[in-house]
Amino acid sequence: MTQTVTEFEVHDIRFPTSQQLDGSDAMNPDPDYSAAYVVIRARDGAEGHGFCFTIGRGNDVTAAAIEALRPYVVGRPAPRTAADLAALHTALTHDSQLRWLGPEKGVTHMAAGAVVNAAWDLAARSAGLPVWEFLAAMTPEDLVSLVDFRYLTDVLTRDEALAILRTAEPGRIERARRLREDGYPAYTTSPGWLGYSDEKLVRLARQAVADGFAQIKLKVGGDLDDDVRRMGLVRAAVGPGVRIAVDANQRWDVAEAVRWMTELAPYEPHWIEEPTSPDDILGHAAVRAGQPVKVATGEHAANRVVFKQLLQAGAVDFVQIDAARVAGVNENLAILLLAAKYRVPVCPHAGGVGLCELVQHLAMFDFVAVSGSWEDRVIEYVDHLHEHFADPAVISRGRYRAPHAPGFSARMLPESIAAHRYPEGPVWRARLRTAEGITP
């Protein structure tokens, strides 16, 4: 008998990372890393966990948007197959009234992604496989069936996507073996938060290199002279053989981005990330053409259409998918196929809370079954909050180790959920009492 979903839980989970300025950048000076978190349970006990990442205020809005999707899940069959997961993705992203709020972008689209990702967690756990392997075991035909090709067929047809996947199919087993043995290349942003002191910046940059990372990233965009000085400090600390990427977090207009990066160029930045508005495709193209540093973006790109246009316009050198920004695994598969069509490396955005855990699966699947390459490809890593997950991301000598536990690595520990639920969890009760001048 088909097992139905009987439970649908939504939690507003927040971590007070602003206390130490972890995650601070030029646009987001005081983030509290947060997750609008959803759990779906089937009658037979199968569970799926998913979430949207936010940085504090508004996490309750995202949680409410997830709650609005309850009728599409509860009382319906628990998804187990590619056909089930395709049908759920379509149902969640095609509700005409909810779609009006986007369409296919913003809070409602992110909420759909949280539920879609929870469904993938349930399906992969039921199959006894991590999501990257669950995906990589599917046929090219099954994978293509997961993608919504509407708005894409002018640059990527179903037949072209099939051809990409069929080309990669013969090497899947060998690449999966290599992935298990070697892991996937990573870079770290942990040294480079804008609120850190010079001493902490230099110390953490040196430590990252000692830990095996061949690339680190600095936040920029607060003050040009200060950025030039900080870049010089880090370049002197790590030497010429380590890549240093920089990230402006959407801080600049186009002309300002060109001027800023021209000043930083002598220190050989590997890329400039999010130099301007994430919606400004032509602006990114102008930044790419106007200065010598390569351009990366995507963590705030709203959907597959924005990625399509970034690639069409020649606006990016690196595509940065985010596991919890677009509508989950299905839409990220579309983006991976678009990047493969244009032969642009995918270097996922991570960090946050749980994003490293999720996106490692997508990059590893891409290596095994889509692009077949990790040349010029790295997954971001930030050493924050992994201890709250049952199957945390594991880094060894600057590389992600391939997850082996079934699922999407998304399950947060029950005690962490209880402690950090907002505003009633004890972490937040204590902090709010302190803010009000009351002794905890």
* Phi, psi (deg, nearest 5) at residue 377: -120, 135
Q: Which residues on adjacent β-strands are paired with residue 41? A: 7, 47
SS3 412: strand
- Of residues 185, 238, 236, 239, the one with CA closest to residue 366: 185
Q: What is the DSSP string of 317-340?
A: SEE---TTTSSHHHHHHHHHHHHH
Hey, what's the torsion of the CAs at 404, 398, 174, 177, to 10 degrees? -30
Under DSSP, the state recorded for 71 is: G
Q: What number of residues does the chain have?
A: 440
In angstroms, the CA 70 to CA 78 distance is: 13
What are the start-end ranges of the E strands in 110-212?
184-192
Distant-in-sequence contacts of 413-418, Cβ < 8 A, 24+ apart: 413/388, 413/389, 416/13, 416/388, 417/11, 417/13, 417/37
Residue 404 a catalytic site member: no
SS3 408: coil
Are the beta carbons of 107 and 62 closer than 8 angstroms? yes
Are the beta carbons of 166 and 143 closer than 8 angstroms? no
Active-site residue, selected from the candidate residues 89, 349, 384, 386: 349
Residue 219 a catalytic site member: yes
Task: Tell me the longest C-alpha to C-alpha distance in the chain.
Answer: 66
Amino acid at 259: R
How many C-beta atoms surround the C-beta of residue 383 within 10 A?
17
Active-site residue, selected from the candidate residues 11, 217, 219, 361: 219
Active-site annotation, residues: 219, 349
